[in-house]
Amino acid sequence: MNRIAEISQAEKTIDDFHLGPINIEIKPGTITALVGNNGSGKSTLLKLLMNLAKPDKGNIRISEKLVFGPDESWKTQVSYQPQTVIGWNAFTGNTLKEFISPLYPDWDDSLFTKMAKLFDIPLNKRFGKLSQGVQQKLNLALTVPRNTPLVLLDEPTSFMDIPSKKHFIDLLADWMDDGNRAIVMTSHQSADIMKLADYLYVLQGGKMIGTYEKDELIGSYLQYWMKGEMPALPIPGELSREHQRLITCSPEAAEAFFQENDLTFTSAVPLDLEEIISLLLTERKER
Ligand SMILES: Nc1ncnc2c1ncn2[C@@H]1O[C@H](COP(=O)(O)OP(=O)(O)OP(=O)(O)O)[C@@H](O)[C@H]1O
């Protein structure tokens, strides 16, 4: 078996929102980021994986078991950190750990203690009395140490302060060293995606508009500062032009075009991931 999870041809309608068809395969040793505008269906996709919402069409498997089938053994193979948890407010971190840890045979208590210390989480305080950022940290400290092959994180760092984000990213990268684990995360934080993700699945209005290997995606967008007159014709892969700056998603073809047309540029610089994601999402909207 060389996949931890698979979503095939999944579709789900909620009121006037339609998600899908979605196809995703998650392999061990990979971090996948679900990226998209607000309301594009990222959290719904994680809920489908957790069987918290049932697809109208298609199949979803974790460890080759259908998540809505009679065999629920897949539940020990996955941990899920939702954006908000219900029912934890009256309990302290210590009590929550006593509830959760026995459910996971590979629970790593030393990792839990390490995360509590790293994030300065008061484990004797009730969850409902903690700030949003500390609630998020405790939620993660109760998720990652479950040590399941698959971890689903729904915007894990959205309320965290900057140093904590860095600590968390380093910790996740270490945790992935094992090689047999996989993470699927939703995020609006391009720095987190840049540092962690191997693959990006880009959603817009419930549709999967593209799946990308992160380094390939970054390598395929380039911005040029042109010398002299700007070309009258659009250059291959042209996405935007502003003053002397041209952006293309086909750098090789663009440079061949520059040569053929005696055009020169003073510099060529890769785009940062945030700009690439914005272009991917606006490109589609304008079509
Ligand atoms: N329980 C629900 N009842 C009604 N509509 C819902 C429910 N859950 C999700 N939706 C709708 O499904 C759509 C997708 O929502 P979802 O939370 O999956 O988006 P998202 O991409 O995670 O957004 P965000 O980036 O804002 O977290 C939205 O239009 C939302 O209103």
Ligand 1 atom nearest the C-alpha of 37 is 25
Distances (CA, A) of 86 to 42, 127, 152: 19, 11, 17
* Per-residue pLDDT at 179: 87
Mutate to test the pocket of ligand 1, among 42, 50, 201, 209 (most ligand atoms within 8 A of CB): 42
Question: What's the DSSP call for residue 126?
Answer: B
Cα of 17 vs centre of ligand 1, distance in Å, is 8
- Name the residue with the closest Cα to ligand 1, atom 1: 14
CA distances 154 to 104, 174, 281, Å, are 20, 20, 20
pLDDT at 283: 64
Nearest atom within ligand 1 for CA of residue 155: 27
Beta strands in 28-135 (DSSP E): 31-36, 57-62, 65-66, 78-81
Distances, alpha carbon 282 to alpha carbons 36, 54, 126, 139, 272, in Å: 11, 30, 43, 34, 16
This model of the complex carries an ipTM of: 0.95
Residue 178: the pLDDT is 86
- What is the SS3 assignment for 106-119? CCCHHHHHHHHHHC
pLDDT at 1: 54
Distance of CA 101 to the CA centre of its chain: 25
Ligand 1 centroid–CA 40 distance in Å is: 7
Can you say how many angstroms the Cα of residue 144 is from the centroid of all Cα atoms in its chain? Answer: 16
Find tokens 């700007």 and name the residue. Answer: 230
pLDDT at 287: 47
Q: Which residue CA neighbors atom 24 of ligand 1 most closely?
A: 38
What separation in Å is there between the alpha carbon of 39 and the centre of ligand 1?
Answer: 5
| Polymer length of the chain | 287
Ligand 1 binding pocket (C-beta < 6 A) is 14-15, 17, 36, 38-44, 186
If one residue of 14, 22, 158 were mutated to test the ligand 1 pocket, choosing by the most ligand atoms within 8 A of its CB, it would be 14
Helix or strand run (H / E) with residue 196: helix 190-196
**Best residue among 13, 15, 34, 86 to mutate for probing ligand 1, ranked by most atoms within 8 Å of CB:** 15
Domains and CATH numbers, the chain: 5-216 (3.40.50.300), 222-270 (no CATH)
Distance 142 CA to ligand 1 centre (A): 24
Cα distance between residue 10 and residue 56, in whole Å:
7
CA nearest ligand 1 atom 5, residue: 14
229-238 burial, b for 16+ CB within 10 Å, e for fewer? eeeeeebbbb
Ligand 1 atom nearest to CA at 188: 25
C-alpha 129/C-alpha 24 separation (Å) is 38
Spatial contact of 275 and 194, defined as CB atoms under 8 Å apart: no
Low-confidence ranges of the chain (pLDDT < 70): 1, 283-287
Q: Tell me: the pLDDT tens digits for 222-242? A: 999 999 888 888 999 999 999
Which amino acid is present at 202? V
